[in-house]
Structure 1
């Protein structure tokens, strides 16, 4: 009760102070409102604007491939024999048909002499029988028998010549031989490698691309390849063929390209980085900073009437050199916000600024 009486006694003295405080608060609020309306706090944000442009683009594919020789073969012995001579130097170029090495063939040569003599004898006997037949002293059956003997002798001689041919290792095509690993006098068995011949005047380059890009790849498409061994140098070629089978595990297909190699810089087995372009086209592009994403949607802010920002959904394509391809949603020449999008909201007012004029230091005026 005493506290209640004390409150009533203080109330008359506090009333003027409370009224003064309330008046100050209302004044500050009015000042703040005035500052907000006239001090710049509610002004439209300044943003850089540009127009939707057109540019030439193409799908670019990058892959890693392995260089393969145009032709390569391992020259192996087909018999068990001793090497008689080796007729090539390490890394030497040899034309097609050149003798690479010979194996001993003394026994086969002697056998060939025997078969040649038998053939000659059989042919002479056949000639005498034909003379006798003309005189009526030889039957047709006897002539046929001797003809068969001649053919048999000839076939036996050819068989011996084939055995001798197996002991002469020849180049199946023109190319370069690898380092020599056999010497005269060494005994080789069936399947022993004598040398490897490589034709790398043209390189086959095998690489894989995802099946989703199959529509971009076609025979004759130009490619560019680079090798770590030759920094700064580009090797050009064309797509030669596409494997008809798609790997069901990687969902990729193997593509083979051909690269001329006149200076023989590229070697089989080298790792190359491949780049190729497909589907060249004229398309719409905008700066990459102009495109925003939310959820699964991409959009830009288009400059609408009275300089109002209009959120516009777009379908984008590839990105290249700071530009984004626009497949749908905009047309050429449309004005859009290209920088400062974080300050923009859909339907909000903006102050368009020309980037080129801003870089030049010229004053800007808001477009009507």
Structure 2
């Protein structure tokens, strides 16, 4: 059975028209907004520092001789003046006995001549000669005592000693290290800064240091000294800070990240998510009613999730803080709590 062509064409057109769907309207984006407020921003100077002991000395053998005793434990604490080690003193003790005997004899002879001189039986020259002999004998004995004292090695200050590397009975030569004593009750932290930042630091200024060994624990201290001489090769100046170290967690030789708070100021601030980057420029979406306006802003430093606003906005203005990626200039938005816009239905 054949259908007339006009009838077929009409049916197809009606079928096609009935299958088309009207485009759905775009949903109004939901955003969050907040007023522009001010907060404190702090300029910080970052550097890398090396930890040094408050006091540290390497105790070495003054002469070549045999070690007779070691009086410290590995890593132990020693008091000021405590004997660390002793070297053999047998020959020196014998020499001291002989020197003391000569000094005693010279002293007794001097007393006899003094007695004779008061009675007129000794000349002044003989008295002077014997006095010189007595002084020489006493000086000789003192010299031997000093030699014996040099063979007794003592801690010059209280601190913690290093691991022991020598044993009693060993023959050591002059200059051989016996122990290292370190006072780590506080730490000297040395770091360098460029000469261009010299005006931003001063003695007594607070610093904060972080060690890789204790990343979650900041150490607070103060700048003690600024080197008066700038290194002409690096154009940097050396700074020394002092950090309390009562629990001895900081060790000499550690590298620490140093942060120095140099200047504080009050500035306008916005959350980082509110800032839109476009090349070198920065923008925000200013809320005006329920429409947004794209506004260029000048930004400063970032700190604790906030961005310093140097220009382009005023305190109290409301800015979109979340949802900026969905926005264009002049777009309509809705906030939490707004009723959703009624969607229009396509005509039938």
Provide structure 2 residue ranges, at least 5 long, that are not aligned to the other structure: 1-24, 342-348
Structure 1 position 99, deviation (Å): 0.9
Aligned counterpart, 2:315? 332
Q: CA separation in 1, counterparts of 2:102 and 2:221? A: 59
Whether the 8 Å CA contact 2:54–2:185 is kept in 1: the answer is yes
Whether the 8 Å CA contact 2:285–2:292 is kept in 1: the answer is no
Q: What is the correspondence of 1:114-193 to structure 2 with a 5 Å cutoff?
A: 114-193=98-177
Q: CA separation in 2, counterparts of 1:180 and 1:48? A: 65
Aligned counterpart, 2:19? none
Q: CA separation in 2, counterparts of 1:213 and 1:296? A: 26
Structure 1 position 254, deviation (Å): 2.9
Richer in strand (by share): 2
Q: What is the correspondence of 1:142-291 to structure 2 with a 5 Å cutoff?
A: 142-288=126-272
1:213-236 deviation line (CA, Å, top 9, x unaligned): 333322333333333333533333
Count of aligned pairs: 315
Structure 1 position 208, deviation (Å): 3.0
Say if 1:294 and 1:246 are closer, same or farther in 2 by CA, change over 3 A. Answer: farther
Q: Which moved more, 1:83-92 or 1:289-298?
A: 289-298
In the alignment, is residue 107 of structure 1 matched against residue 91 of structure 2? Answer: yes
Aligned counterpart, 2:7? none
Aligned counterpart, 1:20? none
Q: CA separation in 1, counterparts of 2:196 and 2:79? A: 44
Structure 1 position 293, deviation (Å): 7.8
Aligned counterpart, 2:335? 358
Structure 1 position 292, deviation (Å): 7.3
Q: CA separation in 1, counterparts of 2:57 and 2:259? A: 29
1:220-262 deviation line (CA, Å, top 9, x unaligned): 3333333333353333322222233334444433332222222
Q: CA separation in 2, counterparts of 1:83 and 1:57? A: 61
Aligned CA RMSD, in angstroms, stands at 3.7
Richer in helix (by share): 1
Aligned counterpart, 1:28? none
Q: What is the correspondence of 1:12-31 to structure 2 with a 5 Å cutoff?
A: none
Aligned counterpart, 2:9? none
Whether the 8 Å CA contact 1:63–1:209 is kept in 2: the answer is yes
Structure 1 position 111, deviation (Å): 1.1
Whether the 8 Å CA contact 1:46–1:352 is kept in 2: the answer is no
Whether the 8 Å CA contact 2:49–2:256 is kept in 1: the answer is yes
Structure 1 position 177, deviation (Å): 1.3
1:274-329 deviation line (CA, Å, top 9, x unaligned): 3332322222334556667889887878899xx99696674x43222343324466
Q: CA separation in 2, counterparts of 1:145 and 1:227? A: 69
Say if 1:234 and 1:49 are closer, same or farther in 2 by CA, change over 3 A. Answer: closer
Structure 1 position 192, deviation (Å): 0.7
SS of equivalent residue, structure 2 residue 130? helix
Provide structure 1 residue ranges, at least 5 long, that are not aligned to the other structure: 1-39, 345-349
Say if 1:177 and 1:300 are closer, same or farther in 2 by CA, change over 3 A. Answer: same
TM-score with structure 1 length normalisation? 0.71
1:96-141 deviation line (CA, Å, top 9, x unaligned): 1111111111111111111111211222222222222222223333
Q: Which has the larger radius of gyration?
A: 1
SS of equivalent residue, structure 1 residue 155? helix
Q: CA separation in 2, counterparts of 1:250 and 1:302? A: 47
Say if 1:362 and 1:215 are closer, same or farther in 2 by CA, change over 3 A. Answer: farther
Structure 1 position 58, deviation (Å): 1.0
